[in-house]
Structure 1
Amino acid sequence: MHLSIIAGSSGLVGNNILNQLCEDNHNVIAINRKPISGLHPKTTELVIDFESFLIDGSLPACNHAFICLGTTMKIAGNKNNFRRVDFDYSLDIAKKAFESGAKKLTLISSGGADSSSKNFYLRVKGELEDAIINIGFESVNIFRPGFLTGAGGRKRATSEKIFMKLAKFLDLILIGSARKYRSINAEVLARKMVSTLKSKPGVNYYYYDDFIK
């Protein structure tokens, strides 16, 4: 039996991955801070306190881990809190999934992620990518999208809603090497992420043109 875990299954992308896996009749463990209502029968919910989980938590045996955790600087309040969620929590789930037998991991990162970047956000994303690659998974699939659009996840700030409406117009000027930063609908992105259940060994990077194939 194939079993996948999703860390961040209440978020915009994670929720779409959860729904698509269940529709495809896969067994899923949804990891969250708070219970989610109306979960599919194929889903087992694992509600955890991440701080406690960092110390002595463990995961059930699984085959594939989807890491979709993430926050914003506005929600986090400061750089330390942001890094705690986007790096520490994400890396810890990845390590515990590996210890529980997962051979493959799929991570949602960010366009421009680079551990040597001067931009704090992009540097943290790049450092997480590097750390996860070093864990030893048979297959690591790293998705680097631009701005995410679509329904689901947390309540969006007014500025984010406005940017979602403008995104398609801004995409028109993102051509050539900048094309990979175009916005992408979360449902489309999730569909491509789910396809990594059959990913080849090694480290595989995915960008805008990969999402829409």
Structure 2
Amino acid sequence: MKILVAGSTGLVGKTLITDFLHEHEVIAISRRPFKFPNNVKQELIDFNKDFSLKPADHFFICLGYPLELLDLIYMRDKIKPKFEEVDFGLVIKLAKMALDVGIKDISVISSVMADKNSLNHYLKIKGEMEEEIKKLSFNKINIFRPSHLLGERENKIGLDVQIFEKVTNIFGQVLPSQLKDFKNVEARTLAKNMVTEAFNNKTGVSYFSHKDFN
């Protein structure tokens, strides 16, 4: 299969490519160079200029503006436009461009508790993105709603995030089943499930959260 990945140098996109897509022809689109496996063709794109997408059998959109921990709770006004530009504007732009070149199947990463009516700006924009994606005429739409993602990031995480991860990892072990979706998720676990769900025969809109991951 031919696979297109946006956000290919980020935590999840990079994991998808390096760990789970060796047997496929992969086109990785990104803003900057990165050394990928031999089966990957990298296309460097300036998203602020005109560009085009290549046809593919499945499109993984793994984009996300880098936020500080507190922005997830109460987003600073100066960050809101940048976040919206990527997590809503660019995601929807790429999805529409994918349809235009004949891509029928797509996977996007959203967030646990995403809701267009949320008072939390982060969750509100994620929810609005989901609603716009669902309006598009894809054959398959997989929407993944992880909580906090764990994994080796290119840039070292701050002390606040280190403490947050340690505390939430401990509490995650004792969360009741009805709160399982709030447990931290390893990026590799998310990537594995994204690939599994991309290659099955199910069509339509599907949601996946922590309770669905294996």
TM-score (norm 2): 0.90
Question: Which of 32, 35, 47 is matched with 1:34 structurally?
Answer: 32
Q: Secondary structure at the match of 1:72?
A: coil
- Partners of 1:19 and 1:111 in 2: CA distance: 25
What CA deviation, in whole Å up to 9, does each residue of 1:186-205 have, x standing for no partner?
A: 00110000112223001111
What CA deviation, in whole Å up to 9, does each residue of 1:155-182 have, x standing for no partner?
A: 3222222222223212134324321111
> Which structure 2 residues correspond to residues 113-192 of structure 1 after superposition, within 5 A?
113-192=114-193
Cα drift, residue 153 of structure 1: 4.2
Cα drift, residue 61 of structure 1: 1.1
Tell me, which stretches of 5 or more residues in structure 1 are unaligned?
none
- Partners of 2:158 and 2:88 in 1: CA distance: 23
The amino acid that maps onto 1:29 is: I
* Partner in structure 2 of residue 205 of structure 1: 207
The amino acid that maps onto 2:15 is: N
Aligned residues of 1:15 and 1:152 also touching (Cα < 8 A): no
- Partners of 1:164 and 1:121 in 2: CA distance: 19
Cα drift, residue 73 of structure 1: 3.8
Q: Secondary structure at the match of 1:51?
A: coil
Identity fraction in percent:
36
Aligned residues of 2:65 and 2:82 also touching (Cα < 8 A): no
Aligned residues of 1:13 and 1:153 also touching (Cα < 8 A): no
Question: Which of 45, 51, 54 is matched with 1:57 structurally?
Answer: 51
What CA deviation, in whole Å up to 9, does each residue of 1:11-63 have, x standing for no partner?
A: 1111111113433x111111111111x211110111111111xxx32101111
The amino acid that maps onto 1:58 is: S
Q: Secondary structure at the match of 2:43?
A: strand
- Partners of 1:182 and 1:206 in 2: CA distance: 14
Aligned residues of 1:22 and 1:40 also touching (Cα < 8 A): no
Cα drift, residue 106 of structure 1: 0.6
* Partner in structure 1 of residue 107 of structure 2: 106
Cα drift, residue 130 of structure 1: 0.9
Q: Secondary structure at the match of 1:106?
A: strand
TM-score (norm 1): 0.90
* Number of residue-to-residue matches in the alignment: 206
- Partners of 1:154 and 1:191 in 2: CA distance: 23
